[in-house]
Chain A
Amino acid sequence: MSHKHVGSLHAADAEMAISNARDVYTRRQEGVSIWAVPSESITASSPSDKEAFFDPAEDKVYRHPTFYDLPDELEHM
């Protein structure tokens, strides 16, 4: 199960952040689990680094394990 960023909000503490996230972002059945992180604890990559960071991966198809036959029992691949 992968968590994804759905948005930001204001809260006085961690517990209120979870409640507020539930109220603001799971009203249309999007939610099964919530993680909340204070924004000051997030270190993000800079948009100006985007090309240097991510473009080089573009032509490295051999990094995808699509050339292997995987058994059916193997999930989440």
Chain B
Amino acid sequence: MEKNQHFEYVLRWADHSLILGQRLAEWCGHGPVLEEDIALTNISLDLIGQARSLLTYAGEVEGKRRDEDQLAFFRDVVDYRNPLLVEQKNGHFGDTIARQLFSDHYLFLIYDALSQSKDEQLRAIAEKSLKEVAYHRKHSSDWVVRLGDGTEESKEKIQESINSLWMYTGELFEMDEINHAALNSGIGVDLEKIKDLWKRNIAEVLDAATLTMPEDGWMQTGGKIGTHSEHLGYLLAEMQHIPRMHPEAKW
């Protein structure tokens, strides 16, 4: 696998966690109850921790002396490689939980598969992250069941959240040139295989929640190659403006 492809491949996982972590951090101080506020920010910090390891490693692979901060704070929208799903706005609590359900089940399968990667560093990061994501998955699945099998209003709302975010799930499983190169060199994951497992797991949760699994329709795509929705620009502006204003600042 070429160095540049390797870099891009690691960067995709790094950006997935970084952007989702930043999004979830917006819940800090706004959670529906104190306990859930802490739960969401715990998950946010887990994701940002994963992003730090992955960004640091991506910088090493690239070999241009960019560290985690350089990569997180000094890239623009078009250089971000996260899927569109994770940059979507938090919306109401159900919207956030539906997004988490899709991403948590996805990352669990990804990290589980990356635990077999021939890339030693990626494997070590995946093994550590797997335990964290196992809890995230339980957290969002439990909530989807509660909301789906809850009141009439909560059921209607969570079903709507699931339906409206469904079009962002197709991109998660697209295999492009970089994915194939990573797979063929024993570093990466077969997203086609993951897709079936993911769908089965999501169907199981939705079934327990008395919710309906959406039909596959037209799917949004572009995040993995840097074509993002306008939401990402605002997210990056908030995340990046202080380091850009004070690039040499130290804690």
Contacts and interface: CB of A to CB of B under 8 A. Distances in A.
Contact of B35 (A15, A24, A27): A24
Contact of A24 (B38, B139, B142, B146): B38
Contacts of B42: 23, 27
A15 B33 contact: no
Nearest to A25: B38
Most interface-central of A19, A23, A24 (chain B CB within 10 A):
A23
Interface residues of A, number: 12
Interface residues of B, number: 12
B146 A11 contact: no
Interface string B120-141: 0000000000000001001100
Nearest to B43: A23
B235 interface: no
B146 to A, nearest CB: 7
Nearest to A11: B35
Contacts of A20: 35-36, 39
A19 B146 contact: no
Contacts of B39: 19-20, 23
B34 interface: yes
A9 B142 CA distance: 18
Interface string A19-42: 110111001000000000000000
8 contacts: A9-B34, A10-B33, A12-B146, A19-B39, A20-B36, A23-B39, A23-B42, A24-B35
